[in-house]
Structure 1
Amino acid sequence: MSTTSYPMADTATMLRRNLRHALRYPGLSLGAIGMPVVMLLLFGLVFGDTFSAGLGGASTGFDYIDFLTPGILLMGIASGIMSPAVAASTDMTEGIVARFRTMAIFRPAVLTGHVIGATILTVLSLVLVVCFAMLLGFRPNASFTDWLLASGLLIGLTVAFTWFGIALGLTSKTPEGASNIVLPISFVLPFLSTTFIPLESLPSGIRWFAEYQPFTPIIETLRHLLLGTPNASGNGWLSIAWCVAIAVVGYFWSQKTYNKGTAA
């Protein structure tokens, strides 16, 4: 197959390969899909009343599940990057990439297949989060346009973080190392943001970090789109800028590392 004439067909082949791997080895994929739901149930159902009371919910009408859900959606995206990072690292370390090099295959198709496959699984996870959140009382008042904008932002961020996660995975010497190297994105950044409590309730040092890391403006933009909450000026454009920056860095970094690793 020509590397110039059939890039879409090659990418589709790699996508089918990755989806079959996800079905054949479901543990990692199910973990990525299910973890955000577990976090939603844990913080929304088990600890929700405690958090709500601590934030003045009883006196102000503050609904914690509404506040929590946009942040959990971001956690779903963050946890979803572990699977493609490990898969990309596995391809590099087990020799399959060397076999691909002997074939007339569109070279970027290998990584693009990982990205599209991971995006499909992450979108499924986000749908499950919204469904479970509604069962717990999540009641967005977004218009159709707001839902479109929120969906576009979530999908764009998924693609961006997946490319970045694959880039990290390709730099790891082992799949086990790849699973560890993405942990700061999967868990540290979501917890040190406004996922669980408002920015003004965070300690001063953590508040500064949370304010200037990518998750916080994106979470606040989602809350504005889905719930109509006040949104700081520029958060929407800042969210888009973060998505573009992460995507560009992740794409070119992953392609450079992949091409270097497959060079003769």
Structure 2
Amino acid sequence: MSDALTMLRRNVRHTQRNPTTLVMTIALPVFLLLVFVGVFGGALNAGFGPPGGDYIDYLVPGILLMTVGYGAGQTAIAVNRDVTTGIISRFRTMAISRAAVLTGHVVGSTIRTLISAVLVVGAAMLFGFRPDADPARWLGTIGLMTLVTLALTWLAVAVGLSARTPEAVGPFIFVVQLLPFLSSAFVPPDSMSAAIRWFATHEPFTPIIDTLRGLLLGTPVEHGGIVAIAWSVGLALAGYLWARALFRRDPAA
């Protein structure tokens, strides 16, 4: 625990010295929020917005998941920077818990991403977002956001460890930024063409976004919440095991 706290302090100091990471994690989702609400919102709400509601209420859960994706992408780059500059190799030779090195990145990134999500919700309220969640649903929203953030962050750590160069992290960043567009984040899957509708219905981001939407808007979540939790736990476990295996691997192998 002591080693993990040391690594967490290191991560926090890096964020303080380079606040661009936090700023971009907030700025990009807010920019998308502004574009889809201010530019396309009227047409989208008229076409297939939720009856009796504003398009921004439908949109915000997807933007929150994109915030998590942007944060995970920055984590993958930070971990890869540690690998390529040699500090990971140095940590391997020190008398510290190996798990602490990864834990510091994950906890630091999770805290940074959740702060970004809170600020994005605040910006969304300025644009007209009006959630209808009671305290229990807000707790559920925070819990699911934390779980999803942990899942994508562990995957990001594994990708950062496995990539040979910072450029090799690009495909992961592309995927986590693209998948929300092929989900229920911006429009209902029912409005999509057949092939894309099938993919959007079965990909992991759709049940997570739908569950967040139900929690925030006070609508029924039903079995989608179980699917969202299952996807999040599965991705988190896969990322954790992959990252631990990579970190334990002999770098000369």
TM score, norm. by length of structure 2: 0.94
Corresponding position of 1:240:
229
Q: Is the 8 A contact 1:101 1:262 kept in 2?
A: no
Counterpart-to-counterpart distance in 1, 2:176 and 2:152: 10
Counterpart-to-counterpart distance in 2, 1:115 and 1:250: 11
Counterpart-to-counterpart distance in 2, 1:254 and 1:261: 13
Q: Is the 8 A contact 1:11 1:112 kept in 2?
A: yes
State the identity as a percent: 51
Counterpart-to-counterpart distance in 1, 2:250 and 2:103: 16
Corresponding position of 1:66:
57
Q: Is the 8 A contact 1:81 1:182 kept in 2?
A: no
Aligned-pair distance for 1:44? 1.7
Structure 2 residue 252 is the aligned partner of structure 1 residue 259? no
Structure 2 residue 119 is the aligned partner of structure 1 residue 128? yes
Paired residue secondary structure (2:98):
coil
Q: Is the 8 A contact 2:67 2:117 kept in 1?
A: yes
Q: Is the 8 A contact 2:49 2:58 kept in 1?
A: no
Q: Is the 8 A contact 2:4 2:104 kept in 1?
A: yes
Counterpart-to-counterpart distance in 1, 2:55 and 2:250: 47
Corresponding letter in the other structure for 1:229: T
Structure 2 residue 205 is the aligned partner of structure 1 residue 215? yes
Counterpart-to-counterpart distance in 2, 1:172 and 1:163: 14
Counterpart-to-counterpart distance in 1, 2:204 and 2:129: 24
User: Which segments of 5 or more consecutive residues in structure 2 lack a partner in the other structure?
Assistant: none
Q: Deviations over 1:192-217 (max 9, x none)?
A: 00110012111111110011111101
Corresponding position of 1:75:
66
More displaced 10-residue stretch of structure 1: 74-83 or 183-192: 183-192
- Tell me the matched-pair count: 253
Q: Is the 8 A contact 1:36 1:129 kept in 2?
A: yes
Q: Is the 8 A contact 1:92 1:261 kept in 2?
A: no
Aligned-pair distance for 1:262? 4.6
Corresponding letter in the other structure for 1:185: V
Paired residue secondary structure (2:219):
coil
Q: Is the 8 A contact 2:75 2:157 kept in 1?
A: yes
Q: Deviations over 1:49-96 (max 9, x none)?
A: 121122267xx4331010001111111111110111111111111111
Corresponding letter in the other structure for 1:252: L
Q: Deviations over 1:13-71 (max 9, x none)?
A: 111111111222233332123211111111122221121122267xx433101000111
RMSD of aligned Cα (Å) = 1.6
Q: For 2:31, which of 28, 38, 49 is the aligned residue?
A: 38
Paired residue secondary structure (1:81):
helix
Classify 1:42/1:261 alpha carbon distance in 2 versus 1 (closer, same or farther; 3 Å). Answer: farther
User: Which segments of 5 or more consecutive residues in structure 1 lack a partner in the other structure?
Assistant: 1-7
Corresponding letter in the other structure for 2:187: I
